Amino acid sequence: MTVILELKNVTKQFGGLTAVGNMRFQVEKESISGLIGPNGAGKTTIFNLITGIYNVTEGEIIFEGKRINGLQPYEIADTGITRTFQNIRLFKKLTTYENILTACHYNTDYSILDAVIRNKKFRRGEKNLFQQVDDLLDIMELKDRRDVVAANLPYGLQRRLEIARALALKPKLLLLDEPAAGMNPDETIKLMHLIKEIRERFDLTVLVIEHHMDLIMGICDKIVVLNFGKKLAEGTTQEIQTNPKVIEAYLGEEDVIC
């Protein structure tokens, strides 16, 4: 197994509160892994630590063999880690197309001078860019909403657009924070298929936080369960579903987990 991401005894304290304590787990390359746990367990804090929004108090975060904690968020993004947010963060006044285009522009290889004189390199770059946006619209099934302003998209489609925009940055590791929040069961099933599809298509590694257990159990190769900032359990969906400690942490909500 090739490990792409590793948390080594990571702790995050906010004053006297230990939001994440001594956390250690590995994420296998091109896997889909789930991070679950009750509210306040420390899931989003872990995403904020991986992406450099918070500094770790202790421990190390290793991505592709290199320590990334201590780097600035933009430097971590440059290593190939992108995320979506629990509360959707789109350019609300831009269209679906424009939202993806702005992210695709991040990867262009022409200079400002190329753009000013509109030379061949610029024209070829622009053509590739438009093709990438079209492909992403297609994959995320947003083509018919191409010119709709993001704020006017239904909630489920805004979430899909956020994923499309994250993919435009060509990540190696995609962190999804509650991608199915607010979605109905049909939308959630569709999203499950899409996550699997994009993993295959882009050779992606996905780490997903989600409260919808159907989604987690339907797509994850491995699950890490948190409780009060600590790792409670780790294993396959089968192992997690039958783990008494996990069932207890969810206050007997066996229905939710199984």
Ligand X SMILES: Nc1ncnc2c1ncn2[C@@H]1O[C@H](COP(=O)(O)OP(=O)(O)OP(=O)(O)O)[C@@H](O)[C@H]1O
Q: Which residues bind ligand X (CB under 6 A)?
A: 14, 17, 19, 37, 39-45
Q: 79 or 86: whose CB is closer to ligand X?
A: 86
**Cα-based angle 70, 21, 223 (whole degrees, multiple of 5):** 95
Give the residue with the Cβ less far from ligand X, 1 or 17.
Answer: 17
Taking 3-state DSSP, the helix, strand and coil percentages for the chain, each rounded to the nearest 5, stand at: 45, 25, 30
Burial label for 147, CB within 10 Å (0-12, 13-18, 19+), is: exposed
Radius of gyration, CA atoms only, the chain: 19
Whole-number minimum distance, CB 16 to ligand X, in Å?
Answer: 10
Beta partners for residue 20, in sequence order:
12
- Between CA 108 and CA 123 the distance in angstroms is 11
Residue nearer to ligand X on the CB measure, 2 or 39: 39
The Cα–Cα gap between 151 and 94 comes to: 8
CA distances from 253 to 213, 217, 245, 248 (A): 11, 15, 12, 8
Q: How far is the CB of 95 from ligand X (least distance, A)?
A: 30
- Interior CA angle at 140 toward 44 and 104, to 5°? 80
Nearer to ligand X, 35 or 129 (CB): 35
What's the Cα-to-Cα distance from 251 to each of 34, 86, 210, 245, 254, rounded to whole Å? 20, 24, 17, 10, 8
| Closer residue to ligand X in complex, CB, 145/212 | 212
Name the residue nearer to ligand X (CB basis): 15 or 65: 15
